[in-house]
């Protein structure tokens, strides 16, 4: 998954068009959503997903936070069970 920003709706649309054409030339089946507004354009090529945003829209949806790995906790590891004493 790729997340990127363009400075304007026009730039986001141009980026989506260029990426879509390049992926098609590479043999991928490509579909896209979010045009003609171009606030957020999704380019879907199966295994490759590209999200293109205007900066304020990217900040609002904050996909990086949604898809971030959970923070590692500082919890102590679970104690290992002790072997039963020999009889």
pLDDT value, residue 69: 82
pLDDT tens for each residue of 52-77: 999 999 999 999 988 888 875 555 56
Phi and psi at 51, nearest 5°, equal -105, 125
Say if CB 52 and CB 4 are below 8 A apart: yes
- Domain 2-66, CATH: 3.30.460.10
| Residue range 1-45, pLDDT digits in tens | 999 999 999 999 999 999 999 999 999 999 999 999 999 999 999
For position 17, what pLDDT does the model report?
Answer: 98
Written as six digits, the tokens of 80 are 């290992």
Distance CA 58, CA 52 (A): 8
pTM to 2 decimal places: 0.76
Structure tokens at 58: 């990217």
Domain boundaries, the chain: 2-66
């Amino acid at each position: 998954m790729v997340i990127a920003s363009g400075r304007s709706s026009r730039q986001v649309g141009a980026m989506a068009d260029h990426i879509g054409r390049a992926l098609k030339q590479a043999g991928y089946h490509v579909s896209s959503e979010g045009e003609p507004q171009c606030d957020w354009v999704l380019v879907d090529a199966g295994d490759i997903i590209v999200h293109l945003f205007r900066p304020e829209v990217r900040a609002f949806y904050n996909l990086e936070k949604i898809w971030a790995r959970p923070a590692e906790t500082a919890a102590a590891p679970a104690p290992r069970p002790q072997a039963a004493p020999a009889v």
